[in-house]
Structure 1
Amino acid sequence: MISATEPMPLNPPGLVRQVPHDRPWYWLILGWRDMTRSPQVSLAYGAGLVVISYLLVLGLWQADLGYLVLPMAGGFFLIAPLIAVGLYDTSRRLQLGEAVSLPAALLSWRRPLQIASFGVVLLLLHFAWTRVALLWFALYFHSGTPPLDAVPFYLIEAQNLPFLVIGALIGGAFAVVVFAVSVVSLPMLLDRDVDVITAMVVSVRAVLRNPKAMALWAGLIVLFTAVGLATFFIGLGLFFPLVAHATWHAYRDLVV
């Protein structure tokens, strides 16, 4: 474990530092500290996410679109960085010694054009993932789809394991791309006067320069999100703000 006082190596190529491979644990410590310093903002964000998740699932079920629940859950990885902008700004304010509040977090788009532009990129990737997931569903069940209300139970049968495995691999590929281009992009757009392309390039460089640390960080994000989804979204109420706050500190650690 890296101690909080250990100096960081400062010989980066361009804007990116190289960090120890276990550094993500330190980011989580700092993220947890921010949560305890701003519980009204962090827990409100988490609770809001849980409520919205239930409303989306209920809406899909009522519209006989229950088969879209799994793609929607997988797509959460793709748009989560955009949802977390207010929490990034909360950590930024805490770092600067400024007051924090839920209204300030919700109105934190200091550079709306750049953040919205990056949001379009994430939404396009989300739409692409949804289309690919539906195409894979149609190809796999080409001989006839099960009743829509039975799809969740049908998928857990042993003969449908290939469908789940290949679908997870496809979703994982989308998630890797999104992780690489967004892991520090949105905090950087919030913090600095840079364009979207520059932020994405710096994000990819951070991943390439720190493959072990970023692989650990990606694994932790997947683990926390999976637990959140497996607990019927309840776990997201805690883990989402924790990861969001920690992501801000990852950005500050990785980018000079």
Structure 2
Amino acid sequence: MTSKIEEAERPDNLTPQQRAQPKANKLTSDDITASLKAGFSDFMARPFMSGFFGLFYALIGLFIVWCLVWLGNIWMIIPAAVGFPLVAPFAAAGLYEMSRRLQKGKNFGWSEILAVMAKQRKREMGWMAFTTLFIFWVWIYQFRTVLVVVLQDSSFSDFDGFLNIVFFTPEGWTFLAIGTLLGAVLSAVLFSVTVVAMPMLLDQDIDFVTAMLTSIRVVTENPLVMLSWAAIISVTTLLSMVPAFLGLIVTLPILGHTTWHLYERAVQPVEG
């Protein structure tokens, strides 16, 4: 039996959850390869259900572009198209749950997957969504600021005119250089805090700050491997957006399933 003296000496602010923190594993390029194979296998196991999430994401992208054209904010098409993939990890929650159930050999249908996604509103993933959208908003705001400062003397009335100024004038080149640098910094920040945080929040009962810190540790302890994964995501997603976002119907589900398997290789679950 624990004495009253021992109980008095025990710090009140130390709980089992605080002592047990997720640990980041060392990764190699083989982990990315194996995760991609597993992700593709998950997609082929349920292609229509997986493709639905990709289709939904693609339709949202098309709707955003249509709204920008309709509102006459043609300058926002480029930052929206570039920044839109940044919110993909949150949209892939259903794909993570599918991979988790496939890995455990469980049968599931739409009701099970959608129920799990709905429950995330009451858990920590809502805060992660807020963080993601906030960084996306910062990206749009910074893009607009650079546009006003650098291209203040330029005028364009349509999207073709905007592209002509951006790609074929010295001011446009300066604008692209600064915008690319800012975009790279914000993308690196968002990638670091979300790359494994999203599937971790779905899989474990932890807070979103712990998930983000663990995600950052995974990136800092595996810089080259995670940089390679970030490049794969960026190039694949941007190329998939070229044919009217339709490529995302296939690539987004595969990347989402792959992210789940990479998370399992990158993070040791909390014990206890």
- On whether the aligned pair clears a TM of 0.5, the verdict is yes
Q: How does 1:90-239 map to 2 (within 5 A)?
A: 90-109=98-117, 110-112=119-121, 113-149=123-159, 150-159=161-170, 160-239=172-251
The equivalent residue for 2:91 is 83
Ranges of 4+ aligned residues in structure 1 off by more than 6 Å: none
State the Cα distance separating 1:246 from its structure 2 match: 0.2
The equivalent residue for 1:4 is none
1:89-129 CA-to-partner distances (Å, cap 9, x unmatched) read 11111112222334433332344330111111111111111
The equivalent residue for 1:66 is 74
Aligned residues: 244
Aligned to 1:23, the other structure's residue is in SS state: helix
Whole-angstrom distance in 2 between the partners of 1:244 and 1:198: 21
Whole-angstrom distance in 1 between the partners of 2:76 and 2:22: 42
Aligned to 1:234, the other structure's residue is in SS state: coil
Q: Which moved more, 1:244-253 or 1:109-118?
A: 109-118
How many percent identity over aligned positions? 29
Using the size of structure 2 for normalisation, the TM-score is 0.84
State the Cα distance separating 1:62 from its structure 2 match: 0.9
State the Cα distance separating 1:158 from its structure 2 match: 4.7
1:139-167 CA-to-partner distances (Å, cap 9, x unmatched) read 11122432244323432325322322321
The equivalent residue for 1:38 is 46
User: Any stretches of 5+ residues in structure 2 without a counterpart?
Assistant: 1-20
Whole-angstrom distance in 2 between the partners of 1:103 and 1:40: 15
Using the size of structure 1 for normalisation, the TM-score is 0.89
The equivalent residue for 1:249 is 261
Larger Rg: 2
Over aligned residue pairs, what C-alpha RMSD do you find? 1.7
State the Cα distance separating 1:244 from its structure 2 match: 0.5
Equivalent residues of 2:192, 2:216 under 8 A apart? yes
User: Any stretches of 5+ residues in structure 1 without a counterpart?
Assistant: 1-12
Say if 1:76 and 1:106 are closer, same or farther in 2 by CA, change over 3 A.
farther
Letter in 2 for 1:156: F
Equivalent residues of 1:28, 1:242 under 8 A apart? yes
Whole-angstrom distance in 2 between the partners of 1:148 and 1:249: 44
Whole-angstrom distance in 2 between the partners of 1:122 and 1:14: 22
Aligned to 1:36, the other structure's residue is in SS state: helix
